[in-house]
């Protein structure tokens, strides 16, 4: 593990001074506390108190000036494939089948471990800039992603992507990754096991992986019921829905983060509800619209059944960014339209879904998702003073409907400042961008005719 974290000193202290603080309660309206100091010791928030500019700090305390800025809990990207930033914009205006079979899965067959490392670093840079402090990843060469997370200081849950076509050695490699990295990088890296989907992983493998997950105390992260046609296809082929497959094979019992779930149907809700304490659905609406899917994730039905919903971007080969602001805004907009009710998925509910929902979806609700004493210090300072946010009648509405990733000024993860006033501190951005550019031509060349898999759900 490479990790640029400086050597620990006793009681590493950080003070974010004079900021406003977004409070995201478990239920009810979010609100904003004015003029607060956030006190952090050894990566943990120990106090959120009214600011006093002249207070003497303990010697060695790192101070971040938060005046004029709004602190919010770090955003959680609850489903992505971070290294796919390397394919951003390289698969436009195609069908879902064409996207997989003609573009993305052939390109992915070109990827080397070093490509993945570069892609993950680039993704981390983009996410830090966007105020994303935690992401749930699902990809190949997961150890290289974990190294990138360790190095850049982000927090991530990483699932090694597994197809049954990879065979026993691939399955075992994924399990070995979990054994090596779960709890790594000072606890910032957790691992989930990552069977790709019920249509690419057979039931026996799902059972085996669920058994490993229970043994290791980790969860599963899997694509399922991505759209209604997949559910219909599963019903036709085998008489049960994809969610029922997860139920029958013990995946839900192990705890599952389900990506997309646009094809979750009424009969699935009680199956998911049975494991509501450890099962969640990540909604990534931009890619559903772009792939012309309908219906979308049934968020109201899921929340009504007590199932956690979180916000994700999916990979940038479809979403084009890893921008959770964009994703949470689209959750609000598309869910209002989906149920023809402009009064639901309110600004408070949307913010709660993006932070508390994301934390819960990754099993991290005791560590992140709120700026409260006892929580890890994952803090995003945003500047809502630009003309596109003014007058600022309602900071919550500004966060959901006006703010942009570029309004993020300073980002703290686990008490460590990763970006200060727009400057990345843990990434050499120019070198990284040049490195990514140098890899592109080879990755885009699909003249060989290979692919990592064939899409036929």
Which residues contribute to the site for a second copy (CB under 8 A)?
A: 85-90, 92-96, 98-99, 122, 125-126, 129-130, 286, 288-294, 319-323, 332-334, 336-337, 339-344, 346-347, 385-394, 397-398, 401-402, 404-406, 429, 433, 436-437, 440, 444
Nearest approach in angstroms of CB 197 to a second copy is 19
Are the CB atoms for 170 and 162 separated by under 8 Å?
A: yes
Q: Give 267 or 388: the residue with its C-beta nearer to a second copy.
A: 388
Q: Which residues contact 269 (CB under 8 A, 6 or more apart)?
A: 301, 302, 305, 307
Judged by CB, which is closer to a second copy: 125, or 178?
125
Question: For the chain, how are helix, strand and coil distributed in percent, rounded to 5?
Answer: 40, 25, 35
* Cα distance between residue 409 and residue 225, in whole Å: 37
**In contact, 154 and 188? CB cutoff 8 Å:** yes
Measured from the CB of residue 194, what is the shortest distance to a second copy in angstroms? 25
The residue (of 95 and 165) whose beta carbon lies closer to a second copy is: 95
Three-class DSSP category at 103: helix
Residue 442, token pair as written in the block: 């080879």
Q: Least separation, in Å, of the C-beta of 268 and a second copy? A: 22
In the complex, the smallest distance separating the C-beta of residue 216 from a second copy, rounded to whole angstroms, is: 34
Residue with tokens 């059972």: 207
Does residue 391 have a cis bond before it (omega within 30 degrees)? yes
Residue 89 has a CB neighbour count (10 Å cut-off) of: 9
Across the strands, what pairs with 13?
41
In the complex with a second copy, the residue whose CB is nearer, 152 or 164, is 152
Instruction: Say which DSSP state 388 is in.
Output: G
| In contact, 149 and 120? CB cutoff 8 Å | yes
Cβ closer to a second copy: 7 or 391? 391
Closest approach, Cβ 399 to a second copy, in A, equals 10
Of 172 and 229, CB closest to a second copy: 229
CB of 134 to a second copy, least distance (A): 18
| Least distance between a second copy and beta carbon 353 (Å) | 14
Per DSSP, the three-state class of 390 is: coil
Q: What angle do CA 226, 84, 140 make, to 5 degrees?
A: 80
Instruction: Extract the tokens encoding 235.
Output: 């019903």
Nearer to a second copy, 221 or 352 (CB): 352
The DSSP string of 334-387 is: HHHHHTT-TTSS-HHHHHHIIIIIHHHHTT-TTTSSS-STTSB--EEEE---SG
Least CB distance to a second copy at residue 436 (A): 5
Query: Is the Cβ of residue 14 or residue 347 nearer to a second copy in the bound state?
Result: 347
HSE at residue 16, side-chain half, CA atoms within 13 A, is 36
Instruction: Please report how close the Cβ of residue 301 comes to a second copy at its closest, in angstroms.
Output: 16
CB of 328 to a second copy, least distance (A): 13
Where do we find the tokens 């046609």? Answer: 229
Smaller CB distance to a second copy: residue 235 or 392?
392
List, in order, residues 6 or more apart from 401 with CB less than 8 Å away: 329, 332, 347
Q: Which is nearer to a second copy, 97 or 277 (CB)?
A: 97
């Amino acid at each position: 593990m490479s990790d640029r974290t400086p050597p620990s000193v006793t009681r590493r202290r950080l003070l974010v001074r004079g900021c406003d603080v977004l409070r995201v309660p478990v239920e009810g309206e979010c609100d904003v506390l004015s003029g607060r100091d956030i006190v952090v010791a050894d990566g943990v928030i120990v106090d959120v108190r009214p600011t006093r500019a002249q207070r003497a700090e303990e010697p060695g305390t790192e101070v971040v000036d938060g005046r004029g800025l709004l602190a919010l809990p770090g955003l959680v990207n609850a489903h992505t494939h971070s290294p796919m930033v390397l394919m951003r914009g390289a698969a436009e205006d195609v069908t879902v089948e064409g996207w997989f079979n003609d573009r993305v899965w052939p390109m992915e067959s070109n990827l080397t471990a070093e490509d993945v490392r570069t892609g993950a670093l680039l993704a981390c840079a983009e996410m830090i800039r966007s105020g994303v402090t935690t992401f749930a990843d699902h990809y190949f060469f997961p150890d290289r992603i974990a190294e990138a997370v360790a190095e850049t200081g982000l927090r991530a849950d990483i699932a090694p992507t597994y197809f049954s076509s990879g065979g026993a050695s691939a399955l075992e490699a994924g399990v070995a990754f979990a054994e090596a990295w779960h709890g790594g990088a000072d606890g910032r890296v957790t691992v989930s096991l990552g069977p790709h989907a019920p249509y690419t992983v057979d039931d026996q493998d799902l059972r085996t992986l669920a058994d490993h997950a229970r043994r290791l105390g980790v969860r599963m992260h899997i694509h399922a019921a991505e759209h209604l046609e997949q559910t219909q296809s599963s019903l036709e082929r085998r008489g049960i829905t994809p969610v029922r497959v997860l139920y029958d094979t013990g995946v839900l019992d192990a705890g599952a983060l389900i990506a997309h779930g646009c094809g979750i149907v009424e009969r699935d809700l009680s199956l998911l509800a049975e494991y509501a304490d450890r099962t969640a659905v990540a909604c990534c609406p931009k890619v559903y619209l772009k792939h012309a899917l309908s219906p979308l994730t049934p968020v109201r039905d899921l929340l009504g059944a007590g199932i956690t919903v979180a916000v994700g971007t999916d990979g940038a080969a479809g979403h084009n960014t890893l921008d959770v602001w964009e994703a949470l805004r689209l959750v609000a907009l598309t869910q209002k339209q989906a149920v023809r009710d402009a009064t639901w998925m309110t600004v408070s509910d949307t913010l709660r879904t993006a932070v508390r929902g994301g934390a819960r979806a990754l099993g991290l609700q005791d560590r992140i998702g709120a700026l409260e004493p006892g929580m890890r210090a994952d803090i995003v300072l945003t500047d809502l003073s630009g003309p596109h946010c003014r007058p600022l009648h309602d900071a919550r509405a500004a966060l959901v409907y006006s703010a942009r990733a570029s309004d993020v000024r300073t980002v703290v993860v686990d008490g460590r400042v990763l970006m200060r006033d727009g400057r990345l501190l843990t990434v050499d951005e120019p070198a990284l961008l040049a490195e990514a550019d140098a890899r592109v031509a080879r990755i885009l060349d699909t003249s060989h005719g290979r692919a990592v898999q064939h899409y036929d759900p």
